[in-house]
Amino acid sequence: MSNHSRVGGVLTIVSGGLGLLGMLITVLLLVIARGVGSENFYSDTMTYDQFVHFMDVSIGVILIFGGIFCILVITGGIFALRRKIWGLALAGSIASLFTFFPCGVPALIFTCMGKREFDVQQQPLPTAVSG
């Protein structure tokens, strides 16, 4: 039996981890930009208060959507490794395209190639009813 689902799961988890790291670096840079800004520098295009509000909203949006995507990606990767719920593994690998594209493409391909590995599950044997 091939290990396409395992490779897809590992690539999905790597993509989620790198996406989480990129999200945290982006938020760190936005926080630094917010702290470095001065009223004189931003007075031509917007007021300093508008800039601070814009940065706060930007940081919040990145944290909310990035966090949701990264949690979905890592959860899908875990389910792909365990060969459970193929739909969730597929959703995680699709979301990995948005977190870290270079790992997301092969993760999606390997998860799709490993669909048959999810279907091969130990099913309980039916019991005979005596009557």
pLDDT per residue over 69-108, tens digit each? 899 999 999 999 999 999 999 999 999 999 999 999 999 9
> What pLDDT does 124 receive?
59
Q: Where are the domains of the chain?
A: 4-118
**What confidence tier does 54 reach under pLDDT thresholds 50, 70, 90?**
confident
Residue that has been written with the tokens 């996406």 in this structure: 19
> Could you tell me the sign of the dihedral formed by the alpha carbons of 21, 22, 25, 26, in that order?
negative
* pLDDT of amino acid 42: 54
pLDDT at 118: 86
pLDDT tens for residues 28-46?
887 887 777 665 555 566 7
115-129 per-position pLDDT tens digit: 998 866 555 556 766
Q: Token pair for residue 64?
A: 């909310």
Q: How far apart are CA 105 and CA 110, in angstroms?
A: 9
Which candidate, 1, 9, 13, 2, places its Cα nearest to that of 111?
A: 9
Q: How many other C-beta atoms are found inside a 10 Å radius of the C-beta of residue 15?
A: 31
Q: What is the pLDDT of residue 130?
A: 62
Nearest-Å Rg of the Cα atoms of the chain is: 22
- Which region among 25-29, 90-94, 109-113 has the lowest average model confidence (pLDDT)? 25-29
Tokens at 97, concatenated = 């395209």
pLDDT at site 52? 77
Residue 49 pLDDT level (bands cut at 50, 70, 90)? confident
Mean pLDDT of the chain: 85
CB 13 within 8 A of CB 77: yes
